[in-house]
Chains A and B, each alone.
Chain A
């Protein structure tokens, strides 16, 4: 059974800092890994999707890396801003027997990020 762990559980930083959020998973047979942002009481916004064959993806100030063999992913946020304050969730999709999947996501517990002005 796939298990996803995120470290740290919470992070509080001053504005302008670069920061790293960590995600690990126990079963390396994943199809892809996705990072989401969730504002309090709201739904999920997709930030970055990394396919199992990729090493990293970038979008603006966000960079996500994937080391599938070691079961790890990191989300790097550059020059953090108060508007980045949210919960960040990592989720993986398992590969099926055919090597593809549009299946369910297994989520980590999330990292609660607070960026102070």
Chain B
């Protein structure tokens, strides 16, 4: 299985600022995803991080608000821009690879509180 390191694990941020979350995997992976889990809710996919090209965003999520980078096959960042209290959520990085069949693995998440 994959070892996924996500940083920071939690943060409290002022509204109007931006936070960049990092996801590092211990091996090269085919697919990397970013999910959001709002308080009391289940997980919703924000975007698929594509290596060397622009991320693919789900309906309701836009690049200006959630810019994503994926410079190589083991690393990705998600930025939450111009934050408001509604952005308070857990943000999770997920990976999939033929190395592990079709199983999906998740990082430990970043708990973001916007005040």
Interface residues of A (CB under 8 A from B): 31-32, 34, 36, 41-46, 49, 51, 89, 91, 93, 101-105, 107-110
Residue contact A51 to B102, C-beta cutoff 8 Å: yes
A68 CA / B96 CA spacing, docked (Å):
22
Smallest Cβ-Cβ distance to A44: which chain B residue = B106
Beta-carbon contact of A34 and B103 below 8 Å:
yes
CB-defined contacts of B101 to chain A, threshold 8 Å: 49
Does A43 contact B31, Cβ atoms closer than 8 Å? no
Tell me if B102 and A102 are in contact (CB < 8 A). Answer: yes
Q: How many A-B residue pairs have CB under 8 A?
A: 60
Please state if B48 and A46 are interface contacts (CB–CB under 8 Å). no
Interface string of B88-110 (1 = CB under 8 A from A): 00101010111001111111110
Contacts of B30 in A (CB 8 A): 102
CB pair B94–A105 under 8 Å, yes or no, is: yes
B104 and A105 within 8 A (CB): yes
| Contact A46/B102 with A41-B111, A102-B30, A105-B43 known, Cβ cut-off 8 Å | no
Chain B residues contacting A51 (CB-CB under 8 Å) are 102
Q: Does B76 contact A (CB under 8 A)?
A: no
> How far, in angstroms, from A49 to B98 measured CA to CA in the complex?
14
Closest 4 interchain pairs by CB? A43-B108, A44-B106, A43-B109, A107-B42
Shortest Cβ gap from B12 to chain A (Å): 14
Pair A49/B48 contact, Cβ less than 8 Å: no
Contact indicator B102/A32 (Cβ below 8 Å)? yes
**Which one of B6, B42, B92, B96 lies within 8 Å of A108 (CB-CB)?**
B42
Residue of A nearest to B97 (CB): A102
Taking CB atoms, residues of chain A closer than 8 Å to B102 are 31-32, 49, 51, 93, 101-102
Contact of A102 with B42 in the complex, beta carbons under 8 Å: no
Provide the bound-state CA to CA distance between A72 and B45, in Å: 22
Is B96 touching A42 in the complex (CB atoms < 8 A)? no
